[in-house]
Structure 1
Amino acid sequence: MPKLSPADVPEIKLDSVALAIEASMTREQRRGLFEKPGRVVVAIVELTSKTYTGHAEDEDKAPSVKVRVTGCEVARTDEDATTLREAKRAMYRGRQIDGTLDEVGEGPMRPDSQLAGLVADKPTEDELMAHKRAVEERNRAQYVR
């Protein structure tokens, strides 16, 4: 893989595979996006680099990398959407403080310090596993009858 000079900033291109996004959305959310142009859903996404394009040193083209959404969860309630927007604003403030942006906003500076409280009422991994076991047991009990 070619090395980039410190001055090079690759262009990011989004891969067209959106299965992770589609799988995380409800039927109503999908219909809402179609029926109401301009509608917004809020999501957490994971991006994975899949391919890159490099050029010869004397080429006047910027390097690029194609990324694919490989993980996604879409907010299903207004409260979840508000939580994600707050986390986004907190990360934005962090970029401002780091010098990426010009102005500093008000509020907490570290999103990770806020997320624990914001997701406190959401199920834990242990609760999810217990739920899955209970569903499996119910399904097994139905077939035994």
Structure 2
Amino acid sequence: MPKLDEDAEVEVKLDSAAVMLQGAIPAILRRGLFEAPGARIVAVVEFASTTYTGHASGEDKDPQVKLRIKLAEVATEGDQIRQLREVMRAMYRQRKMNGTLDEIGPGAPDLDGVVAELLAAHPTEGEFEAHEERQRAAKRGHGRVETFG
């Protein structure tokens, strides 16, 4: 990939493959988005760059990069929405204070604490795995036939 000048503007476009987003938005929210233009949802999204387009030196076009959604989770209840918005505000404040509002900055040094506090009421990865194992065990148990002799 060619190196860009530090002051080069890079245009970002979304890849049309939005399957991950479709699955992350519950049906009731998708209907709400359709029925109420301008409605909003709050999500945590992970992007990956898939393609880039460069231009010859001297061309009056910005380089472009295309992003694909790799993971997405949508907040579905009031507390989740408020928590995600608070994390977004904390990240905004940090970028504003670092002078990196228009670029990707080093990130907020105190963001880990903010996120940990907001996620304290959510299940841990271990708790989730235990839950999934209980679900699998329950399904296996329902398929069992007992006979009395």
Q: Equivalences for 1:127-142 in 2 at 5 Å?
A: 127-142=127-142
Q: What whole-Å deviation, never above 9, does each CA across 1:21-64 have from its counterpart, x for those lacking one?
A: 11111111111111122211100101110000011113221111
Distance 1:39 1:7 in 2: 35
The 1-side partners of 2:30 and 2:114 are apart by 30
Secondary structure at 2:135 match in 1 = helix
Aligned length: 140
Q: Is the 8 A contact 1:87 1:115 kept in 2?
A: yes
Task: Report the equivalent of 2:21.
Answer: 21
| Cα distance in structure 1, aligned partners of 2:109 and 2:124 | 26
Q: Residue 110 and residue 14 in structure 1: after superposition, are their counterparts in 2 closer, same or farther (change >3 A)?
A: same
1:109 CA displacement: 7.7
Partner of 1:105: none
Alpha carbons 1:43, 1:84 under 8 Å: kept? yes
RMSD value over aligned CA atoms? 1.7
1:55 maps to 2:65: no
Question: Equivalent residue of 2:143, what SS?
Answer: helix
- Distance across 2 between alignment mates of 1:138 and 1:101: 50
TM-score with structure 2 setting the length: 0.87
Distance (Å, rounded) in 1 between the aligned partners of 2:123 and 2:88: 22
Residues 1:12 and 2:12 aligned together: yes
Amino acid at match of 1:94: Q
Confirm whether residue 33 of structure 1 aligns to residue 66 of structure 2.
no
Task: Give the distance between the partners of 2:6 and 2:23, measured in 1 at CA.
Answer: 38
2:105 corresponds in structure 1 to none
Aligned pair 1:143/2:130, yes or no? no
Mapping 1:71-82, distance limit 5 Å = 71-82=71-82
Q: Which runs of 5+ in 2 are unaligned?
A: 103-107
Amino acid of the structure 1 residue aligned with 2:30: R
TM-score by length of 1: 0.90
Q: Distance in 1 between matches of 2:86 and 2:111?
A: 8
- Looking at structure 2, the residues matched to 112 and 85 of structure 1 have their Cα atoms a distance apart, in angstroms, of 15
Structure 1, residues 71-96: CA drift from partner, whole Å, max 9, x if none?
A: 11100111000000000000000111
* Residue aligning to 2:64: 64
Task: Extract structure 1 runs of 4+ deviating beyond 4 A.
Answer: none
- Secondary structure of the residue that 2:91 maps to in structure 1? helix
Structure 2 residue identity aligned to 1:121: A
Q: Which amino acid aligns with 1:122?
A: H
Aligned to 1:84: 84
